[in-house]
Amino acid sequence: MPSLGQTSDEIRIAQWLKKPGEAVVEGEPLLEVETDKATLEVEASSSGILVAIVHESGTVVSAGALIGWIGERGDEIPVEEDAPAVAPPSAPAQAREPGEPAAAPSQPGRVLAAPVVRALAREHGLEISELRGSGPGGRVEREDVLAAIAQPRPEGELVPAQRRAIATRLVRAAAVPQFSLATTVELTRALADLEATPSATITHLLLRAVGAALRLHPELNRVWVDDGPRLRTIEPIRVGLAVAAEGRLLVPSLADPDTGPLAALVPRVEALVGDARGGRIAAEHAGAAAVTVSNLGMFGIDWFQAIVDPDQAAILAAGAVKRSPVVTDDGIAAVSQIELVLSVDHRVADGATAARFLQELKAELE
């Protein structure tokens, strides 16, 4: 199970899209999983035959856990010490005892609980790791959750899991040394492009301009990695888009948004936003991005500063398009402008580097 870039280490297998014995092609969706933020597709890491499934649908596992085997037909499956192996389709599967949860094996610091018990705890805003389990090996049972529900609760509304995930990530982000730069961009030519492209918006122009600027300034198309530490380049160029949906804040990404005509970008963004607002991120939109675009202009916000995600290099905050008086060679004229604020991880880039990137972004839009 890949990490999927999520804040929680618990990943629930929603459903397998292939059955044991079926052919698998590298890169195609293999299963769907649920995290504390969204439903995601997990792609096959190689081609072959899905020989065996180790963890069935409904099981909660951690990133890095063995969940299945892809090989050749007739391959024997080695027995892992830390994971129950499921026999290939030609052999009968070992039945579980009645009532035994299909949970991940015990790991240090991991709470044992059946998926239905975890779901009950989440439904009532309880943290499964904080409950005392009465089952074998300290496993949290349904009765333990019901007992916790019956206990007097402190006043105040419990924070939903999605909001807790956002809070956890923001606490990490607050520890990142970051600075912000601002510029005013004239949109006369950009708005003319929009008029010629039905359904296109300022967001599409921003995504395209950020992609083009990253291509010319690759020093900002990389992220800080504590292991080393080192700087990891993002390939191909991807630009994230902040999407708010029902208490969640998701950041799916687009690959190479600056290539091709503006009209071709419209349906790509529409699909990305639609999935995100539905709590899903397709595999093609789940890749890492160094820079994210956050546009609050539709709410009439003049300008704002956004916080850099701890796993990115920068975030561009865009305000509303406004008509402002500008001094020109012919006098004073009303010109459409937008305020852009670029916040940058200071470990990745210094002020001069960020300024050149923002200067290029301004030139692209103008």
Residues 190, 313 within the same domain = yes
The CA distance from 160 to 165, in Å, is 9
Say yes or no: 266 and 153 in one domain.
no
Q: Confirm if 13 and 58 have CB atoms less than 8 A apart.
A: yes
Q: Considering the domain boundaries, does residue 121 fall inside one? A: yes
Q: Which domain holds residue 336?
A: 170-365
For 330, phi and psi rounded to 5 degrees? Answer: -100, 5
Same domain for 359 and 225: yes
Please, what sign has the CA dihedral across residues 273, 277, 281, 287? Answer: positive
Give the HSE-up count for residue 169: Cα atoms under 13 Å, Cβ half-sphere.
22
In a domain, 252, yes or no: yes
Query: Has residue 83 been placed in a domain?
Result: no
Q: Are residues 142 and 214 in the same domain?
A: no
From first to last of its 366 residues, what are the pLDDT tens digits of the chain? Answer: 887 765 456 788 989 999 999 999 988 889 988 876 677 888 888 899 999 999 998 888 888 889 999 998 888 776 554 444 333 333 333 333 433 333 334 444 467 888 788 888 888 878 888 888 888 878 899 899 999 888 887 777 878 777 887 888 889 999 999 999 999 999 999 999 899 998 999 999 999 999 999 999 999 999 999 989 999 999 999 999 999 887 778 899 999 999 999 999 999 999 999 988 888 888 889 889 999 999 999 999 999 999 999 999 999 999 999 999 988 888 899 999 999 999 999 999 999 999 999 999 999 999
Domain edge (last residue) among 127, 158, 189: 158
322 and 223 share one domain: yes
What are the beta bridge partners of residue 16?
31
CATH of residue 147: 4.10.320.10
- Does any domain span residue 88? no
Would residue 1 count as lying in a domain? no
Whether residues 186 and 268 share a domain: the answer is yes
In a domain, 265, yes or no: yes
Assess if residue 101 is contained within a domain. no
Q: What is the pTM of this model?
A: 0.69
Check which CATH number belongs to the domain holding 354 and give it: 3.30.559.10
Beta bridge partners of 255: 238
Q: How many domains does the chain have?
A: 2
Beta carbons within 10 angstroms of residue 169's beta carbon: 19
Say if 329 falls within a structural domain.
yes
Same domain as 215, residue 154 = no
Amino acid identity for residue 117 in this structure: V
Residues 358 and 226 in one domain: yes
